[in-house]
């Protein structure tokens, strides 16, 4: 399985893995699961940290780099097709970061690991955290 890990779930992976369902924890540990983390989520973390809405034990750059290494998650850059695809999505979710995740998941054929039930309204596979 190929999973795009949303921002909240990425934070949970090292800080609060007990927040995941047991079946989700097994999926995350499985060697057959490939995990991706979007540049959009890194951008979201950096913005929230700069605004004082998210406390991290290090700078966002150091935090993300360290957590990517620890969790065997692959970074997923934002490419031009991803950015352009967002404009064609129905306005079902107002969060621009989540809309980018949907676009990336659709184009790259990834399921999204999330606890955000609003994303299920899009034509995308969801794995409930």
Q: How is domain 2-128 classified at the CATH fold level?
A: Rossmann fold (3.40.50)
pLDDT tens for each residue of 9-51:
999 998 999 999 999 999 999 999 999 999 999 999 999 999 9
Residue 39 to residue 65: CA distance in whole angstroms: 12
Q: What is the DSSP string of 73-106?
A: EEEEPPPHHHHHHHTTS-SS---HHHHHHHHHHH
CA within 13 Å, CB half, 97 = 19
**pTM here?**
0.94
pLDDT confidence of residue 94: 86
CA 107/CA 2 separation, integer angstroms: 13
Looking at residue 93, what is its pLDDT?
85
What digits encode the pLDDT tens for the residues 56-106?
A: 999 999 999 999 999 989 999 999 999 999 999 998 988 999 999 999 999
Task: State residue 11's pLDDT score.
Answer: 97
């Amino acid at each position: 399985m190929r999973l795009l890990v949303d921002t909240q779930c990425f934070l949970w992976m090292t800080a609060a893995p007990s927040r995941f369902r047991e079946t989700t924890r097994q999926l995350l540990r499985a060697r057959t699961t490939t995990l991706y983390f979007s540049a959009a989520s890194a951008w979201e973390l950096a913005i929230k940290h700069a605004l004082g809405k998210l406390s991290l034990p290090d700078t966002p750059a150091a935090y993300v780099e360290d957590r990517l290494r620890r969790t065997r998650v692959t970074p997923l850059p934002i490419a031009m097709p991803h950015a352009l695809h967002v404009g064609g999505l129905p306005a079902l979710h107002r969060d621009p970061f989540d809309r980018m995740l949907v676009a990336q998941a659709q184009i790259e054929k990834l399921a999204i690991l999330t606890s955000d039930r609003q994303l299920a309204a899009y034509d995308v596979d969801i794995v409930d955290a």
